[in-house]
Structure 1
Amino acid sequence: MEHQQRSRARLSPSGDTEDMSEMSRLLAPRLAYFAGVARTEHVTRAALEMNVPQSTLSRAMARLEQDLGVDLFARHGRTVSLTTAGRTFLASVERALAEIERAAEEVRADADPATGKVAFGFLHTMGAETVPGLLHAFRADHPRVRFSLVQNYGEAMLERLRAGELDLCLTSPVPDAPDLVARRLDEQKLRLVVPADHRLAARRRVRLAEAAEETFVTLEPGYGLRRITDALCREVGFKPRIAFEGEEAETLRGLVAAGLGVALLPPPTVPRPGVVELTVTAPRAVREIGVAWLADRPDTPPVAAFKKFLLSRRGNLLPA
């Protein structure tokens, strides 16, 4: 009794996170044993069903009661019955075990080679054509693999990759960080997009320096394409004068069509009325596209298969 009181004082609920963590550590391994004994109301029968020694089960129940500081069972020779506290505890234990089993089934299903899931992130500009084409080609050989798709800008995807929310992501620029593995897959030419009535609209090619006095519309700071735009302009000796910042390339094309500026953008999925897309001859205006994943994290079979597929598309990732 004295030992039970000491245990009760040590583990009594106090709202302290460390106390709750200690309680969970002590109780968790014994919950399935408790549920088995409660179901059969017989320690010997429960031990046979769970394939554990009876002595192990008896000690586990005694220690569980000791740690909780309450009697969970009334003992009647070789049989037992739940006390009021035991019935209350059993209801929560059964819910907890059911949730654990549901979680186990979910992670097993996600790792299944044929029907598992891949959490895949990609840039907004790749969502209309590139990614649907990739998924269509991949599922020719893996028809039942499931995907959780996330569209975002590069830095946000890398944050989600590090948080374990993504398995792989297509991003630009290709990241260089010690906690990530990244592989260059392709490059995409950027064009200077101008309004249809612009002074350069009759041209097919242009040097970026010729746009030094123009007003630009760009993506917001933090976007990879914004960093590339700033770097290319800096390379030819000017800082772009920015009138509008947005979050999506096609919105920028709309702003250009409205005569609100010019922009450096990847090719559109379909031609946009009201704008002209000019090839930039100098400097070399491209953005590299790569795939990244977290270093030292093992892949499930479906993730490994999709990663292998993406790497096989080097130089042939983007539509012609």
Structure 2
Amino acid sequence: MVHDRSSEQWLSQGSDTDDISTLLVQLVPRLAYFAEVARHEHVTRAAQEIGVPQSTLSRAVVRLERDLGVTLFARTGRTVSLTPAGRTFLSSVERALAEVERAAESVRADADPRAGKVAFGFLHTMGSETVPGLLRAFRADHPRVRFTLVQNYGEAMLGGLRTGELDLCLTSPLPDAPDLIGRRLDEQRLRLVVPDDHRLAGRRRIRLAEAADDVFVTLEPGYGLRRITDDLCAQAGFTPKVAFEGEETETLRGLVAAGLGVALLPPPAVPRPGVVELTVTAPRAVREIGLAWLDGHPDTPPVAAFKKFLLSRRGRLIPEPDQPAS
């Protein structure tokens, strides 16, 4: 079998990964030549079809046979026919070339400035209004661009940028890492959310220090909003007593409505019964929203267009919230 003999040759050269990689680099450019000769069973016609000198094609096939240690063609003048090993090898080569062509078509399609793809991540709290509005506005001028959307917390999205899962993400706070670039786009006010029977529920504005004796419900460590909550409480002179930790802000609102604590949260898309949302006057309770991407990573045209669009929304990213309930 071709596979067995080529494997033996690889092993005889050493099983080191570098040796195998070198052999593959030598083999791959010759596979398309081999497949073309196999289809025509004639070296001259194959050379004319693909537009290379006949001598180049002949040498490439001979070198392929030498590298594999297998005779792929039986030769009669310029006419050739596949050996049994050649027929076995051809079926694998055609599958491999077809897969490469599909991959090439896929990346070309993704990079098409009119109909390519953008992998875009954003915080859960921006999924109900902000992101749909952004996509609607962008697609007015780029109707065929496709999106892969990922909702997650900040650290997970930064990891997605590093692994290539994401092209861009909206996150908070901005990343502080040498391999990532962040640009501030807007800020979002945070409110102290309390049960509607809470002692502060009749107020419109409070200082955060007034909640120092309350228990808090917060997002889990690792979420940007949790870090911001801890920092704001520290500025107000206390460490929050955390009763419950969750993964989603609307779940926290439900816990507040159930009387299980208070929370610092961005405004809801739809008012939630059972809670009152209070403006925090001191310290200044906001979170910065920014756009992040991997430094040095080349943008495809659709990614570059969407990045330019998002940066143009600086100061206008977050819709103006309604006034908190009194």
Whether TM-score is above 0.5 comes out as yes
How far apart are the structure 2 equivalents of 1:215 and 1:23?
Answer: 64
How far apart are the structure 2 equivalents of 1:48 and 1:289?
Answer: 59
Question: Residue 53 of structure 1 aligns to which amino acid in structure 2?
Answer: P
CA offset digits 1:202-233 (Å, max 9, x no partner)? 11111000010110000000000000000011
- 1:77 deviation in Å? 1.2
Residue equivalent to 2:60 = 60
How far apart are the structure 2 equivalents of 1:6 and 1:144?
Answer: 46
Whether the 8 Å CA contact 1:11–1:23 is kept in 2: the answer is: no
Q: Does 1:132 align with 2:132?
A: yes
How far apart are the structure 2 equivalents of 1:262 and 1:208?
Answer: 11
- 1:17 deviation in Å? 3.9
How far apart are the structure 1 equivalents of 2:121 and 2:214?
Answer: 34
CA offset digits 1:78-102 (Å, max 9, x no partner)? 1000011101110010000000000
Whether the 8 Å CA contact 1:7–1:67 is kept in 2: the answer is: no
Counterpart mapping for 1:10-49 below 5 A = 10-11=10-11, 17-49=17-49
Counterpart mapping for 1:1-320 below 5 A = 9-11=9-11, 17-320=17-320
How far apart are the structure 1 equivalents of 2:214 and 2:145?
Answer: 48
Question: Residue 136 of structure 2 aligns to which amino acid in structure 1?
Answer: H
- 1:16 deviation in Å? 5.5
The alignment's TM-score, normalised by the length of structure 2, stands at: 0.94
CA offset digits 1:163-206 (Å, max 9, x no partner)? 11111100000112221121100000000000111111111111
Name the Cα RMSD after superposition.
1.7
Question: Residue 74 of structure 1 aligns to which amino acid in structure 2?
Answer: A
Q: Secondary structure at the match of 1:187?
A: strand
How far apart are the structure 2 equivalents of 1:212 and 1:14?
Answer: 68
Q: Secondary structure at the match of 1:201?
A: coil
CA offset digits 1:96-119 (Å, max 9, x no partner)? 000000011011111111111111
Question: Residue 33 of structure 2 aligns to which amino acid in structure 1?
Answer: Y
Q: Secondary structure at the match of 1:280?
A: strand
Q: Secondary structure at the match of 1:318?
A: coil
- 1:13 deviation in Å? 9.4
Question: Residue 147 of structure 1 aligns to which amino acid in structure 2?
Answer: F
- 1:23 deviation in Å? 3.1
Q: Mark the CA change 1:127 to 1:7 in structure 2 (over 3 Å): closer, same or farther.
A: closer
- 1:8 deviation in Å? 5.8
How far apart are the structure 2 equivalents of 1:133 and 1:7?
Answer: 56
Question: Residue 249 of structure 2 aligns to which amino acid in structure 1?
Answer: A
Q: Percent of pairs identical after alignment? A: 80
The alignment's TM-score, normalised by the length of structure 1, stands at: 0.95
Q: Secondary structure at the match of 1:237?
A: coil
How far apart are the structure 2 equivalents of 1:22 and 1:306?
Answer: 39
- 1:41 deviation in Å? 0.6
Whether the 8 Å CA contact 1:169–1:293 is kept in 2: the answer is: yes
How far apart are the structure 1 equivalents of 2:261 and 2:292?
Answer: 33
How far apart are the structure 2 equivalents of 1:9 and 1:92?
Answer: 18
User: Stretches of 4+ moved more than 3 A in 1?
Assistant: 5-20
How far apart are the structure 1 equivalents of 2:250 and 2:24?
Answer: 51
Residue equivalent to 2:324 = none
CA offset digits 1:221-268 (Å, max 9, x no partner)? 000000000001111111110011111000000010111110000000
Whether the 8 Å CA contact 2:161–2:167 is kept in 1: the answer is: yes
CA offset digits 1:246-297 (Å, max 9, x no partner)? 1100000001011111000000000001110000000000000000111112
How far apart are the structure 1 equivalents of 2:287 and 2:257?
Answer: 23
Question: Residue 232 of structure 1 aligns to which amino acid in structure 2?
Answer: L
- 1:19 deviation in Å? 4.5
Q: Mark the CA change 1:90 to 1:9 in structure 2 (over 3 Å): closer, same or farther.
A: closer
CA offset digits 1:47-101 (Å, max 9, x no partner)? 1111111111111111111111110111111100001110111001000000000
Q: Mark the CA change 1:280 to 1:7 in structure 2 (over 3 Å): closer, same or farther.
A: closer
- 1:22 deviation in Å? 3.1
- Gap runs ≥5 in structure 1: none
Q: Secondary structure at the match of 1:264?
A: strand
How far apart are the structure 2 equivalents of 1:13 and 1:216?
Answer: 65
Whether the 8 Å CA contact 1:11–1:19 is kept in 2: the answer is: no
Whether the 8 Å CA contact 1:8–1:69 is kept in 2: the answer is: no
Size of the aligned set, in residue pairs, is: 316
